[in-house]
Structure 1
């Protein structure tokens, strides 16, 4: 009998660490482990050891580990590290301070710079160097080695460990930045250097400089974290982790740490990959919207033809970064979101949260305000103990909901809890509709899929409010991000900035550029796309570029995509191609996860009838499902639950 080989996926969220183990024979095991305040590596090691012990897996049987983490996201939100040194051209040291106007609030009189440059990239650490490349990529002034060497010593002596090299037009000619890095490291090998031509090789200096500066800012912490984690795993006889990237796909940690900003959205991207791997063939062809509810936020993602959609903008708190990442809208509503009554007598939920520590009042760890979790517990929609051994106290939940909501509104505690849950569902439904309309999708044409520990609690109510008729709770919804880590292939994304007219000559040049960017390893799939815009525009439209596309086909695809996203295609013939992008995917390493590979876990819904009608709460090991009145559920062969409304229920609604 062959000894099974195992792969382990580890997703570290704000409240729990999710672990999924997949064997070479298709067996899947999962668990949720509570995080500890102030610790990063130790809870991960404890969670992995639990998995090994509970299922009799020897370290020698584990062939690979894939990890997704919130470390970079938290760095961007908290901004407590730094500062970072920035090297740029003479006269350009204030680009990060000047920024670009970003008026999110139309009624704010003063538009504040959207960058923390005074704290993280202070003027004293922004240096100018000789050397210049023009807008066509030609050198017009040489670099000065002595100047760069002197700055390397000055930066190191000041205690700064990370340097961002941001030179004008380096996306067209990266050699200057590469030479500066070589001289910096020759003088001070301990410096960590990020180049804008590698982090974000596109036009628009401020966006490129900001992404690069935050990449450098993330490097010391991420490198220390991954080295510590890798070393601790090695001591236990386990392999070094691969990392999930925000732009999709996995990479060895040694590669990922070279561009740590690319890890900022690893969790949401992994969750979408997990949804894609969990869908049956009958669902993969349609548009899917996922609703992933965690402890502090709700993530709304979209898949088309079985693949996640991506964007080039990352919104992280008040920060906007140009970063290729999963197209996920985060709503500040989760299990720990605070419920309150404002001065006008209106109920409000979020954006403030109790977070993982102390957590909701029901956790008994010191939470003193009513939260969404407290309301769900009072309504009987949560078990008395969550996965990972987190016990819930009904009396503590009732006390805070009574004080914070019921008494100010003059209603019963049950009605107050129901109002909190209804507020959450309404906000989630509005976000679902907005995400769909922004992508030229009608919600009624979508399948809504529940993910995360809390997605299945709200998915049916959200679907009803958003006009979505089809709902699926995928198997292992509560650990979907960890599952997605094991379903993701090694992926390389290459980008080449250009400025070519969308005409016959431009297409010929694009073919030459594409041929020069071919992968060096065998790939399961290669996808090419172009970013196209009209002259004078700042925001391009991404268009797929298939191998046999002629010019007319490419122009028609651009026109159709432009009109779908922006309403009307202008009668202009000055379209420009600004970027060529290639995505090279290898096969998913084995053991790995796919819908055709996994065997349904017979214990997943052990305490749940094969079918039934709401209102009913269904409890599984890693998630809870709420089936409202007027809805019914059916267990599917793949281990998922299909929720629907009978025809009479719809007609009477």
Structure 2
């Protein structure tokens, strides 16, 4: 029988998660395959082949292949930025050196803070004559002679990628387009990124760095995407940071849009699986990513930072901490126990993986305390618990602790690291963390769920079906999406309907052309938004703009939403106060091509007897060692209740249920953990 198969592949640091969905029957197949950090394209091809094997399908039966990648992210996190040049307006060469005067955590906590190294060294920056003002008027013509000299210099210096950011090119991109033509003639092998195409909005420093990040990852991403296209059974779509997907060809033009590809898919998968308003926690091997979902939609931001580089593109608002399963436990010079942010990675990995790891990790602590099974992934990955115990004993001796006490301390510190990340995404954004259930997923996400309920006083934790593969599942729940922006700084009382109509029409034209390249005709829609502020403020608040004709009604409703949003965020607004007029800054349009969602199926209720799922007992340490019931999750039925202490195991993840907690399986197959 011919199948219609959609496949999601999410590449992580240790494992690659795979979900295959049969569009006709709704059957979902999940698995994990080893990641290949040396060449992620090999791991991608192996994952696609394994999905086809398990589904007993041919490549021609794949209707969609969606991919979440960390190639761009890792290149930035590991500071592998080389061979990068910068071309800017003559006289503004120190732009990257000046940067911003902002200091992390304020001067009071950063006495010895120094600016991080520039993304481009000073000797690889070149200025080109010509000048555009903020209205788009040309003050001085483009100087082709200096442009040719800059291109030849960068070619001679061995520069492989060039970022171009001219002053006020958001208002008129003609000088940047002329510079690209010069680079094509004089340095045809260079990858080139223009700020007018990467980020067409004002603030020169952020626009320049975002453009340079795009250029920095373009060679690596271009090669990677070409390799996966060659080995994919279907034309691949790639997850972007904004919560949408684009074709690999479109992403190769603007790879900076993928810097939070994998974490965004996880937040979207949680939003689809659970709905409502929740805090999501995606625990992996290297790090943990947390986000907030409000009314089924993940919060978006443009104030992102990847590694040490500010990246001003629309992205799911995510906070990442080095608190994954592979996070290394170590003794500080002061004699205190620390966990992370350094990770043992995929190779050699934790001690219990038996691949030559030399340092105790969070996973080793779980293994020693019996909170994870002695064989992971359905028995495919045996754990060397003795090696983990020996390594922990060495660390415990350095700390003057018993091994169990050291292991429990590692998990406690890891839980508090995750809790602090959750506070940053909620409390620091004006949200009361106690109002939101926690959705924990990923291979290590559910492991500390009970402790997080205590630390943060959360109402409950929800462990979705197949939590270890939720990010890959999330790839199948999103639409094709492209974001387009234009800066127009104008006071509200001077804003005419004609300007609104002109700019929104231009942006919707750009969005329509991009969606047409993706194969969408009439089946598309547009989402408008705008960045507004009070005159004199330095930063804006983004609000959704209504549909319909862009006239007076749209203007008034958008301003009303701005006042409401400002009051919700900061506790006050200046509604109706002529001393504080509203100023429009950026207009935005997102072009959306809808894709089919996986079906949501309720499960038949059980009889409330969870004992059918018991597979045996093993010694587990919570407060002390005791024989603890072990449950097989796929044998539980809706309405079944498991009371702690217990351990609930499945293919991709484990839920250690502490004493005083209980877990109930709901009608959609999610475990709901409460005190």
* TM, length-normalised to structure 1: 0.91
The equivalent residue for 1:411 is 401
The equivalent residue for 2:97 is 97
Give the Å deviation of 1:523. 4.7
Change beyond 3 A, Cα 1:562–1:115: farther
2:635 counterpart of 1:619? no
Change beyond 3 A, Cα 1:594–1:177: farther
The equivalent residue for 1:650 is none
2:292 counterpart of 1:302? yes
* Superposed counterparts of 1:491-510, under 5 Å: 491-503=481-493, 505-506=495-496, 509-510=499-500
Q: Distance in 1 between matches of 2:424 and 2:187?
A: 50
Give the Å deviation of 1:211. 0.8
Contact 2:468/2:652, CA 8 A, preserved across alignment: yes
The equivalent residue for 1:648 is none
Q: Figure out how many residues of one structure are paired with residues of the other and give that number.
A: 627
Give the Å deviation of 1:595. 3.2
State the secondary structure of the residue aligned to 1:155. helix
Give the Å deviation of 1:450. 1.1
State the secondary structure of the residue aligned to 1:257. helix
* Superposed counterparts of 1:443-462, under 5 Å: 443-462=433-452
Change beyond 3 A, Cα 1:37–1:436: closer
Q: Distance in 2 between matches of 1:294 and 1:52?
A: 25
Change beyond 3 A, Cα 1:621–1:459: same
The equivalent residue for 2:610 is none
Given candidates 390, 395, 414, the residue that maps to 2:381 is: 390
Change beyond 3 A, Cα 1:111–1:95: farther
Q: Distance in 2 between matches of 1:292 and 1:573?
A: 42
2:301 counterpart of 1:289? no
The equivalent residue for 2:565 is 561
Give the Å deviation of 1:23. 1.1
Spell out, residue by residue over 1:87-141, the C-alpha distance to the aligned partner (whole angstroms, 9 max, x if none): 1111111211222123115344455333434xxx233321111211012210111
Contact 2:26/2:599, CA 8 A, preserved across alignment: no
Give the Å deviation of 1:339. 1.7
Q: Distance in 2 between matches of 1:523 and 1:567?
A: 40
**Greater alpha carbon shift after TM alignment, 618-627 vs 335-344:** 335-344
Given candidates 302, 308, 325, the residue that maps to 1:335 is: 325
The equivalent residue for 1:649 is none
Spell out, residue by residue over 1:493-535, the C-alpha distance to the aligned partner (whole angstroms, 9 max, x if none): 1111111212373555324422333243435543211111223
Q: Distance in 2 between matches of 1:36 and 1:517?
A: 40
Q: Distance in 1 between matches of 2:158 and 2:370?
A: 55
The equivalent residue for 1:161 is 160
The equivalent residue for 2:229 is 230
The equivalent residue for 1:114 is 116
Contact 1:101/1:111, CA 8 A, preserved across alignment: no
State the secondary structure of the residue aligned to 1:565. helix
Given candidates 227, 237, 246, the residue that maps to 1:251 is: 246
Contact 1:102/1:114, CA 8 A, preserved across alignment: no
2:673 counterpart of 1:643? yes
2:598 counterpart of 1:593? yes
Contact 2:641/2:665, CA 8 A, preserved across alignment: yes
Contact 2:209/2:310, CA 8 A, preserved across alignment: no
State the secondary structure of the residue aligned to 2:304. strand
Q: Distance in 1 between matches of 2:229 and 2:507?
A: 32
State the secondary structure of the residue aligned to 1:556. helix
Given candidates 659, 665, 670, the residue that maps to 1:629 is: 659
The equivalent residue for 2:589 is 582
Q: Distance in 2 between matches of 1:288 and 1:502?
A: 35
Contact 1:608/1:618, CA 8 A, preserved across alignment: no
2:613 counterpart of 1:606? no
Give the Å deviation of 1:246. 0.8
Give the Å deviation of 1:594. 4.8
Contact 1:608/1:619, CA 8 A, preserved across alignment: no
Larger RCO, structures 1/2 (Cα 8 Å, 6+ apart): 1
Q: Distance in 2 between matches of 1:298 and 1:189?
A: 41
2:225 counterpart of 1:262? no
Q: Distance in 2 between matches of 1:244 and 1:552?
A: 35
The equivalent residue for 2:211 is 212
Q: Distance in 1 between matches of 2:419 and 2:87?
A: 46
Q: Distance in 2 between matches of 1:599 and 1:322?
A: 46
State the secondary structure of the residue aligned to 1:517. helix
Q: Distance in 1 between matches of 2:671 and 2:530?
A: 39
2:220 counterpart of 1:221? yes
Contact 2:352/2:385, CA 8 A, preserved across alignment: yes
State the secondary structure of the residue aligned to 1:356. coil
The equivalent residue for 2:618 is none
The equivalent residue for 1:173 is 172
The equivalent residue for 2:28 is 28
The equivalent residue for 1:528 is 528
Spell out, residue by residue over 1:461-507, the C-alpha distance to the aligned partner (whole angstroms, 9 max, x if none): 21222121122111121111111111111112111111121237355
**Greater alpha carbon shift after TM alignment, 30-39 vs 293-302:** 30-39
The equivalent residue for 1:651 is none
Give the Å deviation of 1:303. 0.9
Change beyond 3 A, Cα 1:497–1:474: same
Spell out, residue by residue over 1:195-244, the C-alpha distance to the aligned partner (whole angstroms, 9 max, x if none): 111111121111111111111111111111111121123xxxx1131111
CA RMSD of aligned residues (A): 2.4
State the secondary structure of the residue aligned to 2:587. strand
State the secondary structure of the residue aligned to 1:383. coil
Spell out, residue by residue over 1:600-640, the C-alpha distance to the aligned partner (whole angstroms, 9 max, x if none): 9xx99335574211111111111111222111112223221
